[in-house]
Amino acid sequence: MITGNYPNLRLRRSRKNDWSRRLVQENSLSSSDFILPIFLIDGKNIKQSIKTMPDVYRYTIDKLGIIVDRAIKSKIPMVALFPYTNKTKKNEIGSEALNEDNLVCKAIRYIKKRYKNEIGIMCDVALDPYTSHGHDGLIKSGYVLNDETIEVLINQSLLQAEIGCDILAPSDMMDGRIGKIRKALDKEGHEMVQLLSYAVKYASSFYGPFRDAVGSKGLLKGDKKNYQMDFRNSNEAIREVALDIKEGADMVMVKPGMPYLDIIKTVKDNFKIPVLAYQVSGEYSLLSNSIKKGLIDKNSVLESLIAFKRAGANAIVSYYADRIEDLIK
């Protein structure tokens, strides 16, 4: 029988009521914490479901208003554009990336004309949606070339900036590309265009549904391990981020998200720079399919997103972004 005042401190006191739990909660979510990815497709009047990503769609340019209106209504700060490039437009050098009338460029024009600066636009800087081999750069003898790829990425960045992209997000993992792109942007009068570097992008098995969404599934020859990070490494992430900050990155991304919460925390603790997490397609589809099958309940989504904030992420790229208000409620 326990008597007296034992224990003196009862941590459960603050957990007894909902109001007290809310009073002392350490992390919270709002729509301002999110970036909504949008997949684009050629054609007219199409909203196309993506088989591997439940409740996520590809939109033709004339249908973009559906999803952008929803994002603005939910007070989401930014959308991220990703194209489903027709195979007939893909080639070894990804030349469609430099076409001023490609899907991404058309979408930037549409959003800027219709919405002005009501919402920010983030554009991927990489060649994998445009190459016939599915890699993020130019290839020679099976190896992705670094410096030659950067020259193409510079031109892709300048094109997107000229049309009106607010945040360029190089996701290619080529060494030195942030410094080269920053220098080129400043030289051409785009010094206010921000750079979000995918500084810590792992060669991961969680990207499968995304490759389906952008039309590169089945095209990839080999793997991306000679330029994306080894998932066994964490100290290397610090070196990658340090280099990109020195070269001019305004923000950095850690991708994937949930299996790399320790990396998010390490980066934030070491650099105090805005850190973004990408809850990638594989994470999203695992959660969504498990919820649909009744294996877990929908609160698991909120739990996974809070984990990013707890680790130190300033914002989250998530396919749940346009439904976040309902999830929070």
- Residue numbers belonging to the annotated binding site: 240
**Residue appearing with tokens 């050629």:** 42
Which residue in this structure is represented by tokens 């636009």?
A: 121
Count Cα atoms within 13 angstroms, Cβ side, for 43.
Answer: 14
Contact residues for 293 (Cβ-Cβ < 8 A; gap 6+): none
Element (H, E) at 50: strand 47-50
CA angle 137, 253, 230 (to 5 degrees): 60
By DSSP bridging, strand 167-170 and strand 194-201 are parallel
* Binding-site residues for Mg(2+): 240
Which is catalytic among the residues 63, 90, 106, 201? 201
Q: Are strands 53-59 and 47-50 parallel, antiparallel or unpaired?
A: antiparallel
Q: Are strands 167-170 and 120-125 parallel, antiparallel or unpaired?
A: parallel
Task: Give 8: exposed, middle or buried? Use CB within 10 Å, 0-12, 13-18, 19+.
Answer: exposed
**Residue of 120, 50, 47, 109 lying closest to 79 (CA atoms):** 120
Evaluate whether 245 touches 271 at the Cβ level (below 8 Å).
yes
Give Cα 292 distance to the centre of its chain: 24
Mark out the alpha helices in 97-145 (DSSP H runs): 103-115
The continuous run of DSSP H or E covering 311 comes out as: helix 299-311
As a whole number of Å, the end-to-end CA separation of the chain is 43
Considering the candidates 106, 180, 224, 255, report the single residue annotated as catalytic.
Answer: 255
Q: Which helix (H) or strand (E) covers residue 246, if one does?
A: helix 235-247
Active site residue 201: yes
Structure tokens at 70: 């929803």
Q: How far apart are CA 59 and CA 83, in angstroms?
A: 10
Tokens linked to 199: 């500084």
Catalytic positions are 201, 255
